[in-house]
Amino acid sequence: MVRRMLWRVLALALFAVPGLPAHAAEAYQVSTISSLLAGGYDGTISAHLVDPSELTPFAVVVLLQSQSSMAVAAGQSLEQLEAALDALPYSASRILAARVDGRFQALRIRSEPKQNPPYRSLVEVIKTQQVVHTLDDVQGTLIGFRFPAAASSVNVAGWHFHFLSADKTWGGHVLAMTTGDGVALVEEISDLRISFPAIAPASTASAESIKAVERPAVKPGE
């Protein structure tokens, strides 16, 4: 069922590629958070290996060359994991990419169904159509980026994590979690290359709309 759904219009991806030159600390981004929140969904994808011809409305991709690794202790919340990563000696003014592989005691993930024109704003879509799943004791990978406040017109300031299960059947935007034992790989990113959409909103995304999308209140029973 999940594979038939759009598991997340906001795709984040990290690929571990050993042996690339050290100057490759660049992230590639498709579109902006302002565009996505305003309903710029053309190019949505589902969770599967993508063909080069497929499009996505938003993506951040980096060829991960980890600069350090950190053991992830079991029993940490999303906020505690973020704080542990924040304590690593990297610049808060640059992008930090993180990949956490391991077992997770519990995860609460969110996705949205595929959208058709005319598009509503992402805040409206999430209010009425977000699908929340709770996973228990699952092996998989967290992928995430921490963007600096200076980049808040094009991406989300602070941490943003997505999860993909090891069997590639479950995935989504992470709302909450409890870690099991795992390992985090991190890399500081100095450069960002953005492909701007041809049609974009005239204004930037508001802090309120970003919060409503990133950490929305979940109704009891969901």
Helix (H) or strand (E) holding 208: helix 207-214
State the minimum distance, in angstroms, from the CB of residue 173 to Zn ion. 3
Per the CB < 8 A criterion, the answer to whether 176 and 108 are in contact is yes
Contacts 24+ apart (CB under 8 A), 213-219: 213/37, 213/122, 213/123, 213/126, 214/156, 214/160, 215/175, 216/110, 216/126, 216/127, 216/130, 216/175, 218/108, 218/132, 218/175
Segment near Zn ion (CB under 5 A); pick from 48-56, 58-66, 140-148, 167-175: 167-175
Q: Which stretch binds Zn ion (CB under 5 A): 31-39, 45-53, 142-150, 165-173?
A: 165-173
- Shortest approach of Zn ion to residue 13 CB, angstroms? 12
User: How is residue 77 annotated by DSSP?
Assistant: B
Binding mask 173-202 for Zn ion (x = CB under 5 A): x-----------------------------
- Of 6, 9, 10, 95, the one binding Zn ion (CB under 5 A) is 10
Parallel, antiparallel, or unpaired: how do β-strands 131-147 and 68-72 relate?
A: unpaired
Q: Which stretch binds Zn ion (CB under 5 A): 8-16, 66-74, 91-99, 189-197?
A: 8-16
Q: Nearer to Zn ion by C-beta: 146 or 173? A: 173
Measure the CA–CA gap between 41 and 56, rounded to whole angstroms.
8
Number of residues this chain uses to bind Zn ion (CB under 5 A): 2
Give the nearest distance from C-beta 123 to Zn ion in angstroms. 13
Closest-approach residue to Zn ion (CB): 173
Nearer to Zn ion, 99 or 173 (CB): 173
146 binds Zn ion (CB under 5 A): no
- Shortest gap between Cβ of 160 and Zn ion (angstroms)? 5
Q: What is the spatial distance between Cα 18 and Cα 80, in angstroms, rounded to a whole number?
A: 29
Considering beta carbons, is residue 69 or 206 the nearer one to Zn ion? 206
Q: Which residues contact 108 (CB under 8 A, 6 or more apart)?
A: 132, 133, 134, 135, 174, 175, 176, 177, 218
Please, which residue, 10 or 85, has the CB nearer to Zn ion?
Answer: 10
In the DSSP assignment, the letter for residue 112 is: -
Site of interaction with Zn ion (CB under 5 A) = 10, 173
